[in-house]
Amino acid sequence: MSKFTAACVQNNALNNIADNLPIVRDLVRQAASLKADFIALPECVSLLEPDNAALRAKVPEEQDHPFIPMYQEEARQSGAWILGGTLAIRVADAKGENKIANRLYLFNPKGQIAATYDKIHMFDVDLGAGETYRESATYAPGDQAVIAELPWGNLGLSICYDIRFAYLYRALAQAGAAILCAPAAFTKISGEAHWHILQRARAIETGSFVISPGLCGIHAEGRETYGHSVIINPWGEVLADGGPDVGIVTAEIDLVEVTEARNKIPALTHDREFEITTPATTSDKVA
């Protein structure tokens, strides 16, 4: 069995978990009604709160997060695998300090949590025009890459800013991942410049399908996310694009295409060790 239907759900997250839950549940049900076997949702799907103090006050511990039982029930009812986007979860970091994990959850059709992944790379950037982000001030980074087994092939998990670190995806593909997912809340500024290029590059470099759902629209305090959830084949072709608005896109995935792409260009098997040298300057050269 190599074929399945993938769906990306694209929502506009509010800054309250209780308000987001019924909206997301309805979108998941719409995706299931389209006969999707695998339903993926964005980063920060349950809560986008730009104010760090307010965010800390709103984040629950894992056992208290209402999105988890909701996803479990929807997975059981639909019979689909659900990649439930990322949930902000209260945790203690290595020093015992209160932090937040940006955690991705995968639910199987029995409603069980099949895998979790905590975002490794923190979005600490200055985009100009006063748009600055410091995820590391609030979030505890993960330190484990994760591959989950689906009925059709292996899934490599990642989140948003991870997409800029090609070595992560190469490692996932070389470890057996045929499908790569990067749920995101890409800013409009960086999304317009880089989103499609990065997603297509990761697909081409690894000969993998890439399924990346994204938040869209204007959120609390005027923060704007790019949307454009994408499903991309191993040759780098965009099979579906969610555009800027709330909605669902689907595409048929045939993992035979992964084998074909990797046979044509077997770059994953062509690694070579090398050293980086710095040529001597003129003053260092021996006369």
- Catalytic residue positions? 43, 119, 160
Phi-psi category of residue 264: left, alpha or beta, with phi > 0 → left and psi -120 to 50 → alpha: alpha
Q: How far apart are CA 171 and CA 67, in angstroms?
A: 30
Tokens of 16: 């309250």
Which amino acid, 51?
D
- Residue 195 DSSP class: I
Cα dist from 226 to 107, 121, 189, whole Å: 26, 20, 8
CB-count exposure of residue 14 (10 Å: 0-12, 13-18, 19+): middle
